[in-house]
Chains A and B, each alone.
Chain A
Amino acid sequence: MSATRSVGRPGFRRGAQDSSPWRVVAASVCGSGHEKAQAPCQDAHAWRVFREQGVLVAAVADGAGAAELAALGAAAASQAALEAVCRGLSALLPPDESAWEDLLRGATTEALEAVRREAGARGVPQSALATTLALLVATPHLAAAAQVGDGAVVAAARDGNAVALTTPDIGEYLNETTFLISPNALDRMQFRLLPEPVQHVAVFTDGLEMLALKMPEAAPHGPFFAPLFRFVGQSQDPEAARAELEAFLRCPRVRQRTDDDVTLLLAARVG
């Protein structure tokens, strides 16, 4: 499992979500297809909560290249992007939409550079570390998301109505998408800012697309998200919640529909 969890800044109490403004539950699990092929899980996720500001930052990546290296690409991209966003937020929150877009584009660029560095250090072509990247920042006032490739970021305001901030970028064929290392990746980066407080968010990789979204318009399927949002909102013990989410992602009903790696990061604002 290459998933990475970042729990809070120094001073944040590990293992308890009571004092955090966000409850977060995330899991990356290996697809049955990859398990059969003895390949590691090639998805990665990372997140951090800024308690005082009530800000959540999340990154999810789906590695695509050759087996072991794809996991590295996904981990490098999600970590680098998370760090870049957090650095950018350390002073002031971006004042307007275009500043938010700049922040997320800059973080995506840093993720790409991290992937290139990693490939260079190992002497392998960049394509061996091909990965997608989805980024989300949610503040008490807004949510901003950026994405290269497939997967999606979904958010719901207090009314519970789920909207897709980003949608899967797929080509004519289902098994084609854009990666960070694609020549036009930054031009194809999706960005959307929702100028209202969100209560729940979900970030996930393409393994869940067909279950969570109504395709091809990529509209969030309400009955998919409602129980998951309720679950994360009521979660108490982070480890137990993660185990339950993992069990769900491995359950036969899910596995009959996809044998890809799947990552699902869920967050609920407290209060």
Chain B
Amino acid sequence: MSGRRIATVLGVAQVPMRTRLSQYTYADLLGVVAARALEDAKVDAADVDGLILAMAPTTTLGIDEPHFWATADLPGMKGFLGRVHTLASSGLVAFRLACAHVAAKRAKRVLVVAADLADESPDLIAAIGMFANPFAERHYPQSAAAAHAFEMTAYMARNALTERDMAHVIVKNRANGIANEYAQLRAPVTVDEVVDSPVLSWPIKRADASPRTSGAAAVLVGPADEKGVAATGFGNYANHPVSGARMVPGLDESYFDASDLRQAAARAYAMAGIERPHDEIDLAEVYASFGIIELLSIEGLGLTNGGVAARMIRDGEFHRDARLPVNASGGATCGTPISATGLIRVIEATLQLRGTAGARQIKHEPRRAAVSAIGGLFQLQEVGVLEA
């Protein structure tokens, strides 16, 4: 059974992800992906009447309110509909908002653009740390690696898993990334190499983590009755910004068991008419900046039961040639520009559903995809469903 078409993905574009994209300014990047998305859609710029910018956090860019200076002459600029900021889920949330404006007939074609130049700051972690209070220049005391180390430690302890068991998700993704011409990391790694890479915050090693990435993406959204891959469901779930509030045994353990993502997925699946996600979804593109997040996402999306994803990946499930591939693109651990990463999940799922993903194309003609993204430290979960 198919869900109700909310809106159609008319065109997509991204640029190869790199640590440094020194040939572009931020505005250049937006312009390049915007032009390519319209070219992909075969739509003239004059026929785009809405624009949304996904940009978060502005701190990494170094200049606030980029929509005022980086959107000049982008298609749909005069009908700008806002900047979305939900951290790493911004791209997916912006896509959802574009679908809503089109479905509500407020605009006919809305372009969503996002870019990041992660090398603009000499110290990205310090820049992100200044989220908390730029007036006092006080750094947020918890890095992403340290925060997700809690999750990984708990996951390993609860499910009797070793560091080697946990490494297989990275090995899978890096192998997938080889076939993705847009991936930043395109070299394979072994379990030994993952386990032996430098510890960032035990048990998270450098190879468990996404690289620091510059990149950009754009998606053009049009009416539901146009031909193309359609969005058929969205769901979101917000929780407390302080991760400790979600580590309370017996009260809220969502930081460890992905139950927030499960709630978001339930909302999206209800909208899309999905009752048995494992049977009714053909592929998933999940935002996972660390291997542990992908394992929790697979389980939170209902693609398997809790606590078993690591072993299933070790045994060959969720690989590109499996029945239900997850991150056939290599995912965020092969490159993740923060503002654009949610859009890239939409783009990769769209390419797979179109059957135009090139060397990374899934062979079994997928019809339905789940995409997900996370804002903050597992604080905000966003799930979308796309159908061919």
Q: Do A and B come from one complex?
A: no
- The chain B residues found within 8 Å of chain A, CB to CB, are none
- The chain A residues found within 8 Å of chain B, CB to CB, are none
